[in-house]
Chain A
């Protein structure tokens, strides 16, 4: 084999230093994301290790270990988030349908923007609103629920006199997660194939029957992942819960009493400023538990979304 006979080697682009530096720095920035996420996990684990072996005395509970402390908190977190999701999901689907299929085309994007405004309101303002406006407002409704539907376990018990119950918290959380669920559902509903919709209408379906047969089945994976992203938001929401709820560390399903299970995030926010020594480690460890839960929920949601690549309009 001689050099002249062989076909010319592939021409390689000139390696300019500018190119190398630039692409190098973008790769560095990209990898930094991985490093940051790993660092979040590593530093949280490192700081929470002492908590896992702490005695009941150090944690400030009567008996048991870290896990008996964090158990009710996990329950409260999941319970509040689930209630919020239960209230927010139907409303969000309704809003998304309204914007995508009912409202006049010309105003639809403005309406979407109005809903997005809800997402822009800082959570501390939601907390202030929840305690000063919403809690007194819903109090009569709670009394009514308790007297008339008190036989239903969720509504039984002594009604709280302040309205600072887990149900109020769930309403505030529901309002807060509405925008994200709406945004994703809207994207998905808009992607319904035009032909499916027109075929349904041509067969004589009413608008609702068209939505039932064409839009909702097409959008189901999108709705599921939107719900899970909303759940993730609700799980980690701190200030609204910390300000509205009158907390206690218990497991209780009653919605209207003044004895409410608190959430991990709210518990940290309320106790962190005064915590010291091992108490800090314990709170950090509960934060780690929250991180693991939300990471899992979000990861599953994203995997469901990514299965159908088109639904990328999360943000």
Chain B
């Protein structure tokens, strides 16, 4: 007769409830202390928070795997280990984001001043501060024109796909829109260049509206996609109620469907703008770069903020630090614009979301 020894309690053979969290914090602290000691002994230059979190998380994965293997057995240990790895993947992705935002803010602030927003780079030599007003104006003009081009096309296409399109044309458009989202930005720039160089027969052509056309190629698919999603959310009952009252289809769409989904459409358009406002490569090719103000989209080169950041980095003067400070300040401005657009868009989506009874 074999005797079955009953476990002492239900929790035996299990790690305590919050052990995972405890081990994670403990390993961060341990690695932190090790780094601190290394720094004090002079083996390491300065304390690195990123390194601490990185190696601490690795230590956590190993520790919890081994501990669980001893206490809980191999299956639980594998589960614990994978949980640790999945968590590490998330933390790993956060590290570059935090590092990038931190660097941009700390390196961008020194030149984030009035001069930066009130002067251009015209006749700026030596250690004169100079500013990015010409680039900011250029970015607003080029992106604005791109929005004016792509929103009507994108919105009407979305309406076609949701309200009218059924046959082969609709399927082809859907597929090509999907593929178009993957066009590299630089190819869009080359297209705009090839188009205008052939049209105007001038092989060195550079002007702002060309940049707008290039950005539109990138923007239209995102606008179509988001508008399409939003139009699909409008319940069919609303359309049918409108038809039952004898309202023609085009009035149903423009007076019932569009107002219902306008918040979502606005959000989608703002996200699309924030996607293209940071594009560098196409503008580098077709809008070119300059040091002076230019308010005319149809004449002469036009500076834009991303290209400003790039040229300040790529063509350093006698004191590279001055240019680099300008570049970081430009990067900070750009990130701020993008973040504000993003947050505003989400806010609009949340506040003005259609109140549809489910």
In the assembled complex, the Cα of A284 lies from the Cα of B107 at a distance in Å of 36
Contact check, A37 vs B184: say whether CB atoms are below 8 A apart.
no
Q: Are A297 and B278 in contact, with the CB atoms below 8 A?
A: no
A92 to B226, CA, bound (A): 23
Closest to A99 in B: B90
| A120 x B328 contact (CB < 8 A) | no
A144 contacts B by Cβ under 8 Å:
no
User: Does B152 count as interface, using CB distance less than 8 angstroms?
Assistant: yes
Interface positions of B from 48 to 105, Cβ below 8 Å from A: 50, 75-76, 78-79, 82-83, 85-90, 92-94, 96-97, 99-100, 103-104
A contact residues around B137 at 8 Å (CB): none
B36 contacts A by Cβ under 8 Å: no
Q: How many residues of A contact B (CB 8 A)?
A: 96
Is A163 on the interface with B (CB-CB < 8 A)? Answer: no
In the assembled complex, the Cα of A236 lies from the Cα of B180 at a distance in Å of 13
Q: Is B347 an interface residue (CB 8 A)?
A: no
The interface on chain B, measured as residues whose beta carbon lies within 8 A of the other chain's beta carbons, has a size of 100
A60-68, A152-160, A253-261, A273-281 - the one binding chain B: A273-281
CA distance A280 to B203 in the complex (A): 8
Given A268-B190, A294-B184, A175 and B281 contact (CB-CB distance below 8 Å): no
B342 interfacial by beta-carbon distance below 8 Å = yes
Which listed residue, B195, B285, B310, touches A39 by the CB 8 Å rule? B195
Which A residues between 17 and 70 are near B, CB-CB below 8 angstroms? Answer: 18-19, 21-23, 25-34, 36-37, 39-40, 43-44, 46-47
Give the Cβ gap from A18 to chain B, nearest Cβ, in Å. 5
A-B contact count (CB 8 A): 280
B274 within 8 A of A: yes
C-alpha spacing A272/B99, complex, angstroms: 32
Q: Which A residue sits closest to B249, measured CB to CB?
A: A19
Question: When the two chains form the complex, which single residue of B173, B277, B306 contacts A30, counting CB atoms closer than 8 Å?
Answer: B173
Which of these, A33, A120, A121, A125, contacts B176 with CB under 8 Å?
A33
Q: Per DSSP, are chain A's interface residues mostly helix, strand or loop, or mixed?
A: helix
- A206-B75, A233-B182, A302-B175 known; A243 vs B100 contact (CB < 8 Å): no
The interface centre, meaning the residue of A29, A129, A284 with most chain B CB atoms within 10 A of its CB, is: A29
Task: Report if B253 contacts A (CB, 8 A).
Answer: yes
In the bound assembly, the distance between CA atoms of A114 and B153 in angstroms comes to 31
Closest Cβ of chain A to B98, distance in Å, is 10
**Closest A residue to B195 using CB positions:** A43
B164 near A27 with CB under 8 A, answer: yes
The yes or no answer to B334 lying at the interface (CB within 8 A) is yes
Are B187 and A125 interface neighbours, CB within 8 A? Answer: no
Is B225 a contact of A315 with CB atoms below 8 Å?
A: yes
Instruction: Name B328-353 residues within 8 Å CB distance of A.
Output: 328, 331, 334-335, 338-339, 342, 346
Determine the residue in chain B with the shortest Cβ distance to A90: B89
- Which residues, 86 to 133 on A, are CB-close (under 8 Å) to B? 90-95, 97-99, 102, 111, 113-115, 117-118, 120-129, 131-133
Question: Do A114 and B78 have beta carbons less than 8 Å apart?
Answer: no
Question: Which of B6-14, B21-29, B154-162 lies at the interface with chain A?
Answer: B154-162
Question: Which of B93, B178, B197, B203 contacts A95, CB < 8 Å?
Answer: B93
| B172 x A23 contact (CB < 8 A) | no
Give chain A residues whose Cβ lies under 8 Å from the Cβ of B178. 298, 302, 305, 314
A102 touches B182 (CB 8 A): no
A22 and B281 in contact (CB under 8 A), knowing A95-B89, A133-B99, A236-B184?
Answer: no
Q: Contacts of A117 on B, CB cut-off 8 Å? A: 97, 339, 342
Cβ of B280 under 8 Å from chain A: yes
Closest to A45 in B: B194
- B positions within 8 Å CB-CB of A: 50, 75-76, 78-79, 82-83, 85-90, 92-94, 96-97, 99-100, 103-104, 107, 152-157, 159-161, 163-165, 169-170, 172-173, 175-188, 190-191, 193-195, 197-198, 203-204, 217, 220, 222, 224-226, 248-251, 253-254, 274-275, 277-281, 284-285, 288-289, 306, 309-310, 313-314, 324, 327-328, 331, 334-335, 338-339, 342, 346
In the assembled complex, 14 residue pairs joining A and B whose CB atoms fall closer than 8 Å, in A order, are: A18-B248, A19-B248, A26-B163, A44-B190, A122-B306, A122-B331, A129-B96, A236-B187, A265-B186, A276-B203, A276-B204, A294-B184, A294-B187, A315-B225
List the 6 closest A-B pairs by CB distance, nearest first: A236-B184, A122-B278, A94-B89, A29-B156, A298-B182, A22-B250
Q: Which A positions have Cβ atoms within 8 angstroms of B?
A: 16, 18-19, 21-23, 25-34, 36-37, 39-40, 43-44, 46-47, 90-95, 97-99, 102, 111, 113-115, 117-118, 120-129, 131-134, 137, 175, 178, 182, 206-209, 211, 229, 232-233, 235-239, 243, 265, 268-269, 272-273, 276-277, 280, 283-284, 287, 290-291, 294-295, 297-299, 301-302, 305-306, 314-315
